[in-house]
């Protein structure tokens, strides 16, 4: 278990729901990955790189709603600037499974 945090610490993390609107291969990434564009409604369209090629095809990801941390500082990955971090968890086979809402919600809604 990680260090205990306060509720105020948790409130600093901005987790939102967005819809994947574009998926491209990312051949310059060290490990197999996609480049995604995600629509977060009023927050706009954000880019990210995601190592989720094991369980998700590009076609599967297109129009899928995902959860992401939207207030990380942008991070350079190879020749690509990643603006958000989509959330996932490793399954029993060590592959990333995306965390998402069980029902469709409005893009940009904050997870509380």
- The tens digit of pLDDT for each residue in 7-47 reads 999 999 999 999 999 999 999 999 999 999 999 999 999 99
pLDDT at 112: 85
**Is 62 a member of any domain?**
yes
**C-beta of residue 7 within 8 angstroms of C-beta of residue 99:** no
Provide the number of structural domains found in the chain: 1
Query: 12: which 2 tokens?
Result: 């600093």
Whether residue 45 is contained in a domain is answered as yes
pLDDT band, residue 62 (cuts 50/70/90): very high
Is residue 71, in this structure, part of any structural domain at all? yes
| Furthest-apart CA atoms within the chain: distance in Å | 40
Is residue 110 included in any domain, yes or no?
Answer: no
HSE (side-chain half, CA atoms, 13 Å) at 106:
6
Q: How many CA atoms lie within 13 Å of 112's alpha carbon, on the beta-carbon side?
A: 3
Block residue for tokens 């609107």: 21
104 occurs within a structural domain: no
Say which residue the tokens 């998700």 belong to. Answer: 56
The enclosing domain of 42 has a CATH number of 2.40.50.140
Kindly state whether residue 82 falls inside one of the protein's structural domains. yes
Residue range(s) defining the domain that contains residue 19: 14-98
User: To the nearest whole number, what is the mean pLDDT of the chain?
Assistant: 96
Answer whether residue 63 is part of any domain.
Answer: yes
In a domain, residue 7? The reply is: no
């Amino acid at each position: 278990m990680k260090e205990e945090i306060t509720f105020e610490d948790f409130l600093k993390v901005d987790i939102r729901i967005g819809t994947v609107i574009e998926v491209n291969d990312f051949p310059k990434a060290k490990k197999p990955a996609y480049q995604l564009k995600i629509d977060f409604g009023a927050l706009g369209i954000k880019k990210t790189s995601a190592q989720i090629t094991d369980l998700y095809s590009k076609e599967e990801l297109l129009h899928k709603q995902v959860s992401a941390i939207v207030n990380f500082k942008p991070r350079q990955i190879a020749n690509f600037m990643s603006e958000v971090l989509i959330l996932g968890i490793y399954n029993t086979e060590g592959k990333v499974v995306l965390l998402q809402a069980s029902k469709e919600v409005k893009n940009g809604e904050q997870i509380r």
